[in-house]
A and B are shown apart, each in its own frame.
Chain A
Amino acid sequence: MLSRVAERLYWSARYLERVENTARLVSVYDDLMFDLPKDVEVSWYNLIEILSGEEIFEQRYKVKDERNVVKFLLADDTNYNSMLSSLKMVRENIRTTRDVVPKETWELINELDLYAQQNIKQGINRSERHLFLNTIIEGCQKIIGLFAGAMSRDSGWQFLIMGRYLERADMGTRILDAAVSLMLQSEPEERIQLGQVTWSKVLKSQSAYLDYRRTVRASINGAKAATFLMSDPCFPRTLAYCFGQIGESATKLPRADLITTQIDKILKFNYPITSSEDLDEDFHNHLNEIQIAIIEINQQITENWFQFRQGDAA
């Protein structure tokens, strides 16, 4: 597989996952706003912080209200992380790797891109937002499903997997962190009530609510939900699962050692959470370390497979 093609596949998977995750995030926040007790103050602007978009947002908007936040996250073309920008990047990357993905991928991404562009107003206005975001998520899953059902498990596939799960791990960490900061910001007496709502939304944002119920068999609280989302080995959106997938894919490619060593280090690193009190500043720092590890893995992947050096490869 050409290094350039490998790189584009990796990024198309990352951007595709980013599209889906952005839609999930906005959708779950939308839902959260309906369910929170009136006296709890939660700002839409938290979303901008979760995604580290403060700088670009503030250059662009004065008012940090719902409309601007949602517009920035979904539609803004000056925000290269916005849903529409990410979709455009998926399309560009697929356009240049059409020869290695199933033929229908190109049609599906065009369909999704057209739908998103033509109906973006529905996403910005609250009344039809849910339907719009759901259609986007479904569109992403259609493409993932096509890959799963029609793509050879060759090198190209391994790059798609690594891209998808690295992006997912990144967003998963950010969402956990967001929930933790929300808790830490609130008054202690509100926490129990807020915790119930928040953590069930967090689980739902990862489609993990039912699986949590079946696996953990306990009521929802911060400690248990966070533990599940970090370390459950079977559910496909937990950090443990994501890193496991990256490691496994790497071993099917040449020169995997550098990546697998790093993955093994993360997977071994056990952060015990016994009660919700443990979701404190230290935990926040722990998540931060995972974020840094994610950035390093990305760099490692880039150096290992995308930057071809004629001398040492031969």
Chain B
Amino acid sequence: MEKLTSQYQSSIFFDELIDDKGAPRPPAKQLLGYLDSLSEDELEKRRLTAEATIQEMGISFTVYTEEGNIDRAWPFDIVPRTIEASDWKIAEAGLKQRLKALNLFINDLYHDQNVIKDGIIPEHIISKSKNFRPECVGISPAYGVWAHICGTDLVRDEHGDFYVLEDNLRVPSGVSYMLENRAITKRVLPELFENESILPVNSYTSQLFDTLAALSPRDIENPEIVVLTPGIYNSAYFEHAFLAQQMGAELVEGSDLFVDTDDCVYMKTIDGPERVDVIYRRIDDLFIDPEVFDSESVLGVAGLMRAWRSGNVALANAPGAGVADDKVVYAYVPDIIRYYLKEEPILKNVETFLCDDPKQRAYVLENLDKLVVKPANESGGYGMLVGPHSTKKEQALFAELITKNPRNYIAQPTLKLSTAPTLISKGVLEPRHLDLRPFILQAKDTYVTTGGLTRVAMKKGSLVVNSSQGGGSKDTWIVETKGQ
């Protein structure tokens, strides 16, 4: 029988596991050798084990459809993606640098706005930002940190260099899937974990706990930490429950909390009210407090902003942190790093055209068929135009949208995203595009996950990796290859 990997048609893109001569890259060597030693039937058996494990572990995410919400099993490919540990060290340093600068930037925006005064970023970009919250001006969260939990999307270009695609600073999700992917892979390919030096990922939840505990406004030994979820119908409910459980924190809904006349937050328990110190909120800014934002919201807690402003409770991420999540702000991040840290950015940005700028806009409008156009403040891959895969009609629609509201759009060249071998049917490996979402925690200390969540576009040629758009995922291995 032909070896599994020798029939693999590597693509013209950078492949994470196999080099352009068809040989395994060093961190993938043992993995590919092992996969080749398995028969087609054995490999299929492993795939089925993974499927059954996912069902039993109840790993799911919710997809919104017209028929209602469907709880889907987590789509997973059993072939891990490998990254050399020395490569990862650089990415890790780059992410720490980036988040340090972004937090300094957010804090500056809600205080003196030196970054605007010094002409680094135009004033109107901020004043017209959908996620700038005037309600937050003058507030000083602990350590000057606003974005405590960040999920930054990285991609690799045709040379294997890492680029930042976007920063998710509001309520980034996916970290539980990163941890569960590892748990599944350990059950599916247990033999490999014995011999390889694969760096562990499971300290994330204790790091998250420490990060949150460090934010407690009361100097007490066991601050009360809660995870605030919009509830069971949210697409990331699985993750909210997972994180609360792993941290030993209470998983609460808005109706479980109230703010009393002393401006402190309490939760409703069988013993009566209990004071809450830190809220890891997984609800968007606009829904957290009907007193300040959307008065119709039933997800949040009336008075929460009051309690936060008085310093009686910590909110992670802080309201208003999303201002740096804006894709227009993204374009300025390299300058932001230089401005606050006096350092050159370690990680590159993807080339970005701001439709707000007349010259750049003209270029975008002329090249809609070649570019990816994204709205500045959407997440989940919604509302995008992928130029090369679009129709004339769609391009015309986007031309109109951009002209009407240029501030809300950016454009980027279509990336030559890297690929990795993916098991697409029995015994067949094909290259599929992927990205990587590491998670960065910041309070008193900064911490970056070992690798992150790898998302895969399951359709041939597709660049769309979001789970809500049919993407899948893989375990991500940071491998130490010293001595090989």
Residues of chain A having any CB pair with chain B under 8 Å: 1-6, 92, 95-96, 98-100, 103, 106-107, 110-111, 114, 155, 253-254, 305, 308, 310, 313-314
Inter-chain contact B270/A107, CB cutoff 8 Å: no
Q: How far is the CB of B81 from chain A (nearest CB, A)?
A: 26
Inter-chain contact B57/A2, CB cutoff 8 Å: no
- Look across to chain A and name the residue whose beta carbon is closest to the beta carbon of B231: A96
Q: How far is the CB of B276 from chain A (nearest CB, A)?
A: 11
Inter-chain contact B270/A103, CB cutoff 8 Å: no
Q: Specify which chain A residues have a CB less than 8 angstroms from the CB of B241 in the assembled complex.
A: 95-96, 98-99
Given A3-B269, A310-B273, A313-B272, the answer on whether A99 and B249 have CB atoms closer than 8 Å is: yes
Contact partner of B268 (CB less than 8 A), chosen from A4, A110, A254, is A4
Q: Specify which chain B residues have a CB less than 8 angstroms from the CB of A100 in the assembled complex.
A: 245
Inter-chain contact A111/B56, CB cutoff 8 Å: yes
5 examples of A-B residue contacts, CB within 8 angstroms: A2-B267, A3-B270, A95-B232, A110-B55, A155-B270
Given A99-B244, A110-B55, A110-B56, the answer on whether A2 and B232 have CB atoms closer than 8 Å is: no
Given A95-B232, A96-B232, A310-B258, the answer on whether A1 and B269 have CB atoms closer than 8 Å is: yes
Q: How far is the CB of A235 from chain B (nearest CB, A)?
A: 30
Given A2-B256, A98-B245, the answer on whether A305 and B56 have CB atoms closer than 8 Å is: no
Question: How would you classify the secondary structure of chain A's contact residues: helix, strand, loop or mixed?
Answer: helix
Question: How would you classify the secondary structure of chain B's contact residues: helix, strand, loop or mixed?
Answer: mixed
Q: Specify which chain B residues have a CB less than 8 angstroms from the CB of A110 in the assembled complex.
A: 55-58
Q: Specify which chain A residues have a CB less than 8 angstroms from the CB of B260 in the assembled complex.
A: 310, 314
Interface residues in B, total, Cβ within 8 A: 25
Given A95-B241, A99-B244, A103-B245, the answer on whether A3 and B268 have CB atoms closer than 8 Å is: yes
Contact partner of A99 (CB less than 8 A), chosen from B55, B56, B251, B258, is B251
Q: How far is the CB of B112 from chain A (nearest CB, A)?
A: 41
Given A4-B256, A99-B244, A308-B268, the answer on whether A313 and B57 have CB atoms closer than 8 Å is: no
Q: How far is the CB of A170 from chain B (nearest CB, A)?
A: 23
Q: How far is the CB of B350 from chain A (nearest CB, A)?
A: 38
Q: Specify which chain B residues have a CB less than 8 angstroms from the CB of A305 in the assembled complex.
A: 270
Q: Specify which chain B residues have a CB less than 8 angstroms from the CB of A6 in the assembled complex.
A: 270
Q: Does B253 sit at the interface, judged by CB under 8 A?
A: yes
Q: Does B252 sit at the interface, judged by CB under 8 A?
A: yes
- Look across to chain B and name the residue whose beta carbon is closest to the beta carbon of A110: B58
Q: Does B37 sit at the interface, judged by CB under 8 A?
A: no
Query: With A and B bound together, what is the CA distance between A240 and B245 in angstroms?
Result: 36
Q: A99-B249, A106-B58 are in contact. List 18 more A-B contacts (CB 8 A).
A: A1-B270, A1-B271, A2-B267, A2-B268, A3-B256, A3-B270, A4-B268, A96-B232, A98-B242, A99-B244, A99-B245, A106-B57, A107-B56, A107-B57, A253-B270, A310-B273, A313-B272, A313-B273
Q: Does B36 sit at the interface, judged by CB under 8 A?
A: no
Q: How far is the CB of A171 from chain B (nearest CB, A)?
A: 26
Q: How far is the CB of A261 from chain B (nearest CB, A)?
A: 19
Q: How far is the CB of B244 from chain A (nearest CB, A)?
A: 4
Query: With A and B bound together, what is the CA distance between A190 and B251 in angstroms?
Result: 59
Q: How far is the CB of A239 from chain B (nearest CB, A)?
A: 26
Contact partner of B269 (CB less than 8 A), chosen from A2, A95, A98, A107, is A2
Q: How far is the CB of A150 from chain B (nearest CB, A)?
A: 13
Query: With A and B bound together, what is the CA distance between A313 and B260 in angstroms?
Result: 13
Query: With A and B bound together, what is the CA distance between A181 and B326 in angstroms?
Result: 72
Query: With A and B bound together, what is the CA distance between A155 and B245 in angstroms?
Result: 17
Q: Does B250 sit at the interface, judged by CB under 8 A?
A: yes
Q: Does B255 sit at the interface, judged by CB under 8 A?
A: yes
Inter-chain contact A254/B271, CB cutoff 8 Å: yes
Inter-chain contact B232/A254, CB cutoff 8 Å: no
Please encode chain B, from 43 to 80, with 1 for each CB lying within 8 Å of some chain A CB and 0 for all others: 00000000000011110000000000000000000000
Query: With A and B bound together, what is the CA distance between A217 and B222 in angstroms?
Result: 56
